[in-house]
Copies of this chain bind each other. A is one copy, B any other.
Amino acid sequence: MTVTLADVAARAQVSPATVSRVLNGNYPVAASTRERVLRAVDDLDYVLNGPASALAAATSDLVGILVNDIADPFFGIMAGAIQSEIGGPGGRAGGERLAVVCNTGGSPERELTYLTLLQRQRAAAVVLTGGAVEDTAHATAVATKLRKLVAAGTRVVLCGRPPAPADTDAVALTFDNRGGGQQLTEHLIALGHRRMGYIAGPEERTTTRHRLEGHRAALAAHGVADDPAWTVHGRYDRRSGYEATLELLRREPGLTAVVAANDTVALGACAALRDSGLRIPDDVSVVGFDDLPFSIDAVPALTTVRLPLAEAGARAGRIAMGREEAPPGGIATIRGELMVRGSTGAPKEA
C-alpha cells in the first residue's frame, strides 16, 4: 500500500540504510549511489514516515508554540515570526520543521495539557508566549513540566513572558511591561492629567500586574492621587474595554484620561467614550499598549507603547533552534517604545 524505505532501497538496488543516509545526508554516500536513490524516491513518490523516523532517531522535528489566543494579532504576530525562524518551509533555516501553534485560550490546564502533548511528541523545542498566570500551584506545575522537557532535550524559550525558575534552564525574553506602563502614565501626567482611569486585564495575569504596577509607580513618583475606584479589571478584549469605560465614567465623570491594558481594550474604550458623547482627546485622552497594526488606524490614532513583537518572536525562534545564543543569564528584557499619537492631549481644564 504505502511506499516504505525498503521499497525505495529495492528499486535503487541498495540497502535501506543507504537510502536513509541519503535522505538524512549525514553520512558519506557516493554521488552515483545518491543519485540512484534520489531517482527511486522520486519515481516511487516516497514520503518518509515521520513517526517511524522520530522513533528510531529519538528526535522529532516538531516545535511547539503556545499562545493564549490565536485570533489576537498580538500572538499571531509573534507566532508568525517564530515560525519563520524555526525553519518551516521557506524559513531561513535548513531542516524542515513543523511548527505547532497551540491555542491555550489562557487556560492553565490547557497550557499544561499542551505541554504534555508536546512532551509526548518529543518536540524539538517549545516556545511559550504571552503572560503567565500568577497561580503558585500552576506556576510550579509548569516549571516542573518545563524541567522535564528540558531534561528530555527539548529547548524551551519564553517569549514575552516572565522568567521561569532559573533551574528550569528555560530562556526568557521578557517584555518590560512595567516600564511601558510607567512611560504611558508619565506621558499623561506630563500633559497635565490627574484623574486617570485604568482598565486592567484579568487580575491573575502577570502582564496585567506589571503594567498596572508601572502605572502606579508613575502616579506615586509624581505625587498623583491613586484612587482605587479608578481601576477596573476586565478581559483583554474590546467588549471589556467598552464596559469598563462606562463603569469608570459612572464612578468618576470627571476623568480626563483612560489608560487601557492593551490596544484592543483601548479601542473599546474609545467606542464607549464616543457613545457617551465625549471627544478624544479633547474631553478624554486614551492610551493603549502593544501598538498592534490597527492602532494607527484608530481615529484619532492611538498613543501606545510599541512592543517589538516580530523581532522578539524571531529572536525566540532562533534561540529555540539553537541558531542564536541565549542572553546572559538566560534572561533578556525587551523594552517598549512610547508612541505618542493623536489620542492623547492636554486635559480641558488643567
Chain A contacts to B: CB under 8 angstroms: 2, 45, 47-52, 54-55, 60, 62, 69-73, 75-77, 79-80, 83-84, 88-90, 96, 98-105, 107, 109-110, 113-114, 116-122, 148, 152, 238, 267-268, 270-271, 274, 293-294, 296-299
Q: Are B88 and A47 in contact (CB under 8 A)?
A: no
Interchain CB contact under 8 A, B60 and A69: no
CB of B76 within 8 A of CB of A90, answer no
* Copies of this polypeptide in the complex: 2
Cross-interface CB contact of A71 among B80, B107, B121, B267, cutoff 8 Å:
B80
Contact residues in B for A299 (Cβ distance below 8 Å) = 274, 298-299
Q: In the complex, what distance in Å separates the CA atom of A344 from the CA atom of B96?
A: 47
Provide the residues of chain B in CB contact with A84, threshold 8 Å: 103, 105
**A89-B110, A99-B101, A110-B89 known; A51+B48 contact, CB < 8 A:** no
Task: Provide the bound-state CA to CA distance between A77 and B75, in Å.
Answer: 12
List, in ascending order, chain B residues with CB within 8 A of A107's CB: 90
A–B Cβ pairs within 8 angstroms, 18 of them: A51-B121, A69-B80, A72-B73, A73-B73, A79-B103, A80-B103, A84-B105, A88-B114, A90-B113, A96-B113, A96-B117, A98-B100, A98-B117, A99-B101, A238-B293, A238-B297, A267-B294, A298-B299
Apart from A80-B103, A99-B103, A267-B294, what 20 extra A-B contacts exist at CB < 8 Å?
Answer: A2-B152, A49-B122, A50-B117, A50-B121, A51-B54, A51-B60, A62-B100, A70-B79, A71-B76, A75-B76, A76-B76, A88-B102, A88-B114, A90-B109, A90-B113, A96-B117, A98-B121, A101-B101, A270-B297, A297-B298
